[in-house]
Structure 1
Amino acid sequence: MRSPQNVAHWSEPMRSVPAKVLAFSREHSLFTPGDTVIVAVSGGPDSVALLDILISLSDLRLNLVVAHLNHSLRGAESDEDERFVADLAASRSLPFVNEKIDVRAASAREHFSLEDAGRRARYEFFDRVMERYGARSVALAHHADDQAETLLLRLLRGAGVTGLSAMSPCRDGRFVRPLLTLSRSEIEGYLHARGLRFRIDSSNADTAFLRNRIRHELIPHLARFNPEISRRLSVTADLLAADAEVLETLASEALRRTVRERTDDSVILGVAELLHEPRGVRYRLYRGAVSLIKGSLLGLSYKHVLQIDDLVRSRKPNLGIRVPGGVAVVRSYGLLTIGRGVEEAEWEGDIIIEGPGCYALPDGGEMVVDVGSPPEDLATLPPDRACFDLDCAPFPWVVRGFRPGDRIRPLGMTGTRKVKNIFIDEKVPMERRRLVPLVFSNGDLVWVCGYRTGYSARVTEKTVRTVLAEVRTSAGTALK
């Protein structure tokens, strides 16, 4: 624990720092007067300064709740941090809520790094505290130097404009960072001027963590080239964040232009429309579509975005890939489908049709078969209905899915055609082909449902008995 000296010439930070934070908060609409705000306090210098500054902003009339998560990483030292924060909250007559978690055990159990496991545990804790107190936001103590470190960290790991824009003043409308406008030195000056005590986390000096190596080794090295490197990097992150906002707006507008169909499980985009968009907009558009389906972009890398773009730009009409999170991306002619369960489906087993009746199909639809008089004009039958000479197409029928090598002699044509080529001509999506019912009688293919009827079972002037068949989809819509 440290208790800095109260030096008279540091009285200026006592006035300027809160004013700077207030202006920044108003600029980014971080608070509304009367808000209940959870203040994340570890006991370190930054969070102690954050709590003190928020208390001083009396015009905002904030209802503050002090929250502390004990990570159990430093034994007795972690417990002392917890007691320190509890005493700090009590000295300010503020509500205090705390939890204790074994982050090391969580890291091993979930196969996350210690840093990632700790971050996940903190945000889950914040969610619980927000719900308990009905809070509007959680205030975090990240400052401009943290911003610089985060930019360098993401640069080393690889990131685009959004990643390099680092931390935003307000994330998800719930997590606010009022101190992003302050440097570490400004915070230290404020702490000294106010005579505030705080705790020092010994793990912050452990260079086994990449962030600590950036803080203690890389930034001091870069400061030899520019003493204001942290401030410059923070400004760069802010500029990139502004650019990211513009790009996100463009990508959202492009997504609306390119969407052909949207369901809970999939987004269908027009390939031609996608190709009219600039490359950078397309990349963001793909990410936005994936996020709509899986709810996050966790695991989606630049490599996956390039793979999706390759599908869009390919001359091959039917291609598909899978990306992290159980999301399939399928290019089928002029459409790109991003969703769950859009991969190529399979028809399991054969359906035997013994006679008139209603028979369930694998995709949730049904086939209705009835013996009766033919319609007056066979040419007017819609694609989902067909009429056959029952003597030429006797029961039992076998209904199954497409298999390589299937052929039919289509009505009105000489010779046979591969069913595969019919699908290609009709631009049937790859993921639908194996669910198109094929009707066989006496081993002869008499109907590719929705696309072609067979010559051998045609109705002629000599026909005595006719049979009508209709395919109804699960939604009650036509096949094509």
Structure 2
Amino acid sequence: MNDLVTHVRSQHLFSPGETVVVAVSGGADSVALLDILTRLDDERLDLVVAHLNHCLRGAESDGDEKFVSDLATRYHLPFVAIRVDVASFAIAEGFSLEDAGRQARYAFFHEVARRRGATSIAVAHHLDDQAETVLIRLLRGAGGTGLSAMAASGDNLIKRPLLQISRAELEHYLKSRGLSWRTDSTNADTAILRNSIRHELIPTLRKYNPRISERLAATAEILAADEELLAHLTGSAFDRLARVDNDKVIFGIEALLKEHRGLRLRLYRHGLHELRGDLMRIALTHLDAIDRLARSSRPNASLKLPGALRVERCYDRLSFTCAAPPVAQRWEHVVTGEGSHLLPNGMTLTVRLVPPPQDPATGSQKLAYLSAEGAPFPWLVRPFTPGDRFTPLGMTGSQKVKELFINEKLPLHERSRVPLVFSAGEIVWVAGVRLGERGRVTPATGAVLRVEILEITP
């Protein structure tokens, strides 16, 4: 079954020598994913196996964790696991169990990636998952963005190498390789929407088209290509029609109304996403309400949206804002050495020389280790300025800090609060967000600086 290995390799999702966190639940799809990635000899990937125990099925969940741990040992790979009481988390946050589990998993995978310096997170979504996702979103109501479902290379490091491979093909692959897997007993519970679609709706649809899953996945792929083009056009139109000023997104109404309604709605979505970092609870009704406000004959009016968002019309301007603390003033602070440094924005940066840690990963975004040689004093600390660039830890090319904020879904109004730490003119730490490559701590590093930022959140 080298065909699957060849197929994954042909997508060029991973760079040679890249560190990749592999999300392994113990199910057939993730076990197959791990085995395939270990067989990418040319890529020589540095794999880390990550498993989240949802604590939902008692001994069965613990058995899954041990199975994955043993699997990692068999492949001689590092294993990282965490236990999360997903049921309690769902109740506390008002999520469904499925949504709570998803949020907990991805938060964990990204934390492992950060600690290990990984540049990809491989997850085992396959063709049948894609088909189910299309149907779920269709039933809930979605446009092209939602119906394009999942991408092979998604946001925030996520890679999905198996999207064009069916569940049946993966199980056949495992059997041919003599590999076993775990079966989640809750997968048969049709009270869960995804399971109901898998076991009831899709078998019914197969009566009309035996290859319904393939057709749905192909539809998602076509829509994804369309969405990529539309996102590019929207971004260009946003740069032309909007400006960002003091944590506001502002459109000129006269120019805005010359655009087609479909583009206007996308521009509203783009503006709201710039402000808050996501579009949770924003529906077509809200976008229509914004458009009515833009087209209204009233010179002054406003509209409140979910998530503390507000849209205001003032004569010829349409302004989007998000309730937030006052905008941080421009400032600079020089750090000449160890000690506790009170920054002009009210935060405190502590710096002290420590012995090289066994594991430079801290588990906290507010705490980091820097090489004293790679990041020599004096340091300049200041807020983000548009155009700032740096080389993120584990990468070779530079990236705009703005792109980092977008990838991390950091809302616009919070970006001015994030201190940037410069050494010799280069960013060594986007405090609380990402380390730079310049200050990397390696086994050969001598003097190490422990840096911590306090009160990073508003």
> Would you call these one fold, judging by a TM-score over 0.5?
yes
Indicate yes or no: 2:264 matched with 1:282: yes
Q: CA separation in 2, counterparts of 1:172 and 1:312?
A: 31
For 1:269, the aligned partner's letter is F
Q: CA separation in 1, counterparts of 2:195 and 2:106?
A: 21
For 1:318, the aligned partner's letter is N
Q: CA separation in 2, counterparts of 1:245 and 1:281?
A: 14
Q: CA separation in 1, counterparts of 2:160 and 2:273?
A: 25
Post-superposition CA distance 1:193-237 (Å, at most 9, x none)? 111110000111101110100000001000000000000000000
Indicate yes or no: 2:14 matched with 1:31: yes
Change (3 A) 1:341 1:93: closer
Q: CA separation in 2, counterparts of 1:156 and 1:38?
A: 32
Identity of aligned residues (%): 55
Shift of 1:340: 2.7
Q: CA separation in 2, counterparts of 1:274 and 1:199?
A: 54
Query: Could you say which residue in structure 2 is the equivalent of 1:303?
Result: 285
1:99-138 counterparts in 2 under 5 A? Answer: 99-138=82-121
Query: Could you say which residue in structure 2 is the equivalent of 1:150?
Result: 133
Q: CA separation in 2, counterparts of 1:186 and 1:313?
A: 53
Match of 2:235 among 229, 252, 257: 252
Query: Could you say which residue in structure 1 is the equivalent of 2:255?
Result: 273
Q: CA separation in 2, counterparts of 1:283 and 1:22?
A: 38
For 1:285, the aligned partner's letter is L
Query: Could you say which residue in structure 1 is the equivalent of 2:370?
Result: none
Query: Could you say which residue in structure 1 is the equivalent of 2:401?
Result: none
1:44-443 counterparts in 2 under 5 A? Answer: 44-259=27-242, 261-340=243-322
Q: CA separation in 2, counterparts of 1:323 and 1:249?
A: 26
Q: CA separation in 2, counterparts of 1:282 and 1:336?
A: 12
Checking the alignment, whether the CA contact within 8 Å between 1:20 and 1:181 is kept in structure 2 is no
Query: Could you say which residue in structure 2 is the equivalent of 1:17?
Result: 4
Checking the alignment, whether the CA contact within 8 Å between 1:73 and 1:102 is kept in structure 2 is yes
Post-superposition CA distance 1:42-63 (Å, at most 9, x none)? 0000000000000011111100
Shift of 1:78: 0.3
The CA RMSD measured in Å over matched residues stands at 1.1
Pairs aligned (count): 324
Q: CA separation in 1, counterparts of 2:62 and 2:117?
A: 27
Shift of 1:274: 1.0
Q: CA separation in 2, counterparts of 1:263 and 1:200?
A: 53
Q: CA separation in 1, counterparts of 2:112 and 2:244?
A: 35
Residue 181 of structure 1 aligns to a residue whose secondary structure is coil
Post-superposition CA distance 1:124-173 (Å, at most 9, x none)? 11121111111111100000110000000000001110000001112214
Query: Could you say which residue in structure 2 is the equivalent of 1:43?
Result: 26
Deviates more, 1:145-154 or 1:327-336: 327-336
Residue 217 of structure 1 aligns to a residue whose secondary structure is helix
Q: CA separation in 1, counterparts of 2:279 and 2:290?
A: 14
For 1:19, the aligned partner's letter is T
Stretches of structure 2 that go unaligned for 5 or more consecutive residues are 325-458
Higher normalized helix content (fraction of residues): 1
Query: Could you say which residue in structure 2 is the equivalent of 1:428?
Result: none
Shift of 1:264: 4.2
Q: CA separation in 2, counterparts of 1:203 and 1:298?
A: 27
Q: CA separation in 2, counterparts of 1:341 and 1:225?
A: 50
Shift of 1:94: 0.4
Larger of the two Rg values belongs to structure: 1
Q: CA separation in 1, counterparts of 2:256 and 2:141?
A: 26
For 2:3, the aligned partner's letter is S
Q: CA separation in 1, counterparts of 2:104 and 2:292?
A: 38
Q: CA separation in 1, counterparts of 2:270 and 2:17?
A: 35
Post-superposition CA distance 1:431-464 (Å, at most 9, x none)? xxxxxxxxxxxxxxxxxxxxxxxxxxxxxxxxxx
Checking the alignment, whether the CA contact within 8 Å between 1:144 and 1:230 is kept in structure 2 is yes
Shift of 1:112: 0.8
User: Which consecutive aligned stretches of 4+ in structure 1 deviate over 3 angstroms post-superposition?
Assistant: none
Checking the alignment, whether the CA contact within 8 Å between 1:257 and 1:273 is kept in structure 2 is no
For 1:280, the aligned partner's letter is G
Q: CA separation in 2, counterparts of 1:181 and 1:255?
A: 33
For 1:253, the aligned partner's letter is S
Shift of 1:277: 1.1
Checking the alignment, whether the CA contact within 8 Å between 1:21 and 1:181 is kept in structure 2 is no
Q: CA separation in 2, counterparts of 1:46 and 1:239?
A: 24
Query: Could you say which residue in structure 1 is the equivalent of 2:438?
Result: none
Checking the alignment, whether the CA contact within 8 Å between 1:142 and 1:179 is kept in structure 2 is yes
Q: CA separation in 2, counterparts of 1:340 and 1:244?
A: 26
Residue 42 of structure 2 aligns to a residue whose secondary structure is helix
Residue 180 of structure 2 aligns to a residue whose secondary structure is coil
